[in-house]
Chains A and B, each alone.
Chain A
Amino acid sequence: MFRKARDSDFVVGWLFCLPFLALWAWWFFYPFLQSFVRSFQDANFAQLDAAKFIGLDNYVTILQDKAFYRAVLHSLEIVVIAVPVQTLLGLLMAILVNRKIKGKGLFRTLFFIPYITSTIAVTTVFMMLFKQGTFVTEFFGLFGFRNVTWFADTHYALLFVVILFIFQQVGFSMIVYLSGLQEVPRDLYEAGQIDGASRLAQFRYITVPSLKPITFFIVSVATILGFQIYDQIAAISRYGALGSPAGATSTVVTYFYQNGIRYMNIGYGSAAVVLFFIIIMIITFLQKKLLDDKG
């Protein structure tokens, strides 16, 4: 340790990390620690001084609350549907714009724009498009969907959120995949061609394995963002209860916000956050097991 401390690289390395670590500790670790402590308290925003220790009561209450399971189910639905779809679409779009086609720069820009556009702006535009009687709802009517305002219908509202999330996120996946595609060595494809591998076989045995670390990154990021989805739901619920209509778009985050912030039960809300953290941690761990390329 002493030898290491004298090593200039070691010191410089830590010094470079220090500002980030300090900010991370202050803005993320400390609040999380506070949330963890609060999760064992009966704490109200209005009277934090009067908070009292209640052990696991908050956790017990949450685990008995049907609304929490409903929120968890909705969060899982968003992630399970949106993450694979946006990952696949992102890959397909990246392959498309990686080819020698005219105007590929324009396509790259167009596909990426939703990702950098304000979520509220994109949601507002989508809300205008998915109103009853628009060409979008009429188009979906061809596939058996009812011509209704999607975000006002309890059967379609969550699907609306999923489509919105995919639309916004797919541009990011495309850009990351594109950078990955450009890193795949050309000679692998050439070797494959010499061996008589078809295009599909090249994709299956060269492209997909080469992009495995990228896929892991995209899936992890999209999963976390999918679980954290909030702005879109808040915009849909404008003037109404969060998770509107009738809780059809409630998620773990809205559950926390509603209880912790809106109802000011910060102890109860913190317990929901801790449970949420554990859920994300387990899922990320499983993803890592399934997708991480150790080779």
Chain B
Amino acid sequence: MVKKMKDSALLLLALCLVFALAACGGKNEDNAGGSQASGSAGAKTTVTMGFWGTAQDLKIYQAAADNISKQYPNIELKIKQYPSSDQFWNALPGEIAAGVAPDFIKISNEGSYEYIQKGMFVPLDDLVASAGIDLNRYTAGSVDTWKVDGKLYGIPNSVIPGMFLINEDMWKNAGLGKYPTTWDEVKAAAKKLTTKDVKGIVINIDPYHITNYVKSYGGGWGYGKTINSPENVKALQTIFDMYNAGVAVTPKSLGYGWDGEVFANGKAAMTTGGYWYKSFLKDAAPNLKYVAIPIPKGTTEGSTMIADGYVVLKDAKDKKAAAQAAYYMTNDATQKALMENGLPTAVASLSPKYFELNPEFKSIEPELKTATDFAYPAETKKFKDELVMQLENTLLGGLKKSPQEILDAVQQQFK
């Protein structure tokens, strides 16, 4: 009896091992089949695009992927969506190391510099001609955004300056008239807009928002060289003044994730933001009336230029096909669909139509001339984390550090 049981156990175990081996073998056969197919004449090259965005964006990209064979019969395009920018940036290094990263990705200029410096993206200059990419289709500024040390790293997709958003009803109910053009006017308005349940302004302790303040004082990070410049100190002082006056709040203090949630829930009347507010508020607060105006002046006109682009990863299997697929994503039909969804385009011939389709952002159009890139240090994520930590220590932790001390501490890390 015991022997029978042992024999059965051995048999069962052997069966499990056979299944396990068969499963592994099956995978290899699939791979072999795959490479055979791609290796045969006239076979399609599969290219994968990675992006983060909304479900609506996914539909548009999927439609483009379905139609790519009309222009590039040799390319099959697959779309890989990431739930958020954070998850995208956190997952990408591991995927690259594991060799399962997409061939090209849509990214923002806010985080691209670090990856370019680390050699993760392919310079496209040599591919432009061979892949048939016409750079004249894009606005000159948008192409320049993707140039580092004279080399082109991205195909422009969108470009728009940062903006300042105001809850129109709250503004009117507070008896306020003309919308603010300077931070002093914002401060005065914030005092009038602040009530027991509502703060005048939400200031997200996030480098994007901080950078908009910094640019409006003529400052900038200078790729790490000018972190503690007098202009940047003045900008931070403006933020601190509003907190100290009790008219500003961080999303975190209220238990929200980001500024848009605070704004949508009517907990603050003003905020710095971007074009993504349109699609977000459409779902989160469809009845909320808002106006978008240029970033108020500190000592000058200035704001961040937010630009999306397509970059080809260094490990892309077929770089030319990846560049072609990336270029295809900027075709008129896809760009129009994205524009209707609120995303600004970098295609020169379509750019003016963006403000016709999105009249709420019309007042931002002149800022296209003055908005500039983020210019974060090459170790962008480290810089952002350090800046946020220093600011949180003071604004949420009660440390009594001045803006000068905070920026000096950050500068120390990025000499």
Contact = CB atoms under 8 A, between A and B. Distances in A.
* Chain A bound to chain B: yes
Interface of A: 8-9, 12, 15-16, 18-19, 44-48, 127-128, 130-132, 148-149, 151-155, 238-242, 244-248, 258, 261-264, 266
Interface in B266-292: none
B97 interface: yes
A152 B257 CA distance: 11
A62 to B, nearest CB: 15
Interface string B281-312: 00000000000000000000000000000000
Given A239-B257, A240-B392, 9 more contacts: A127-B255, A132-B253, A149-B254, A149-B255, A152-B250, A153-B397, A244-B252, A245-B397, A261-B93
Nearest to A131: B255
Interface size class on chain B is: 35 or more
Contact of B257 (A131, A238, A266): A238
Contacts of A8: 6
Q: With a 10 A CB-CB cut-off, give which of A12, A46, A130, A153 has the most chain B CB atoms.
A: A46
Main SS at interface, chain B? helix
A46 B119 contact: yes
Interface stretch (B125-133, B233-241, B378-386): B378-386
B388 interface: yes
A153 B251 CA distance: 12
Contact of B205 (A48, A128, A155, A240): A240
Contact of A241 (B96, B258, B385): B385
Given A46-B119, A152-B255, A264-B93, A241 B384 contact: yes
Nearest to B397: A154
A15 B120 CA distance: 45
Contacts of B258: 239
B215 to A, nearest CB: 21
Given A152-B250, A246-B392, A258 B385 contact: yes
Contacts of A241: 384-385, 388-389, 392
A49 to B, nearest CB: 11
Interface string B1-34: 0000010011001001100100000000000000
B395 to A, nearest CB: 9
A149 B76 CA distance: 49
Shortest 9 CB-CB contacts between residues of A and residues of B:
A154-B397, A131-B255, A246-B392, A152-B252, A241-B385, A45-B93, A46-B118, A246-B393, A245-B392
Contacts of A16: 9, 13
B279 to A, nearest CB: 17
B100 interface: no
Contacts of A246: 389-390, 392-393, 396-397
Contact of A47 (B119, B250, B385): B119
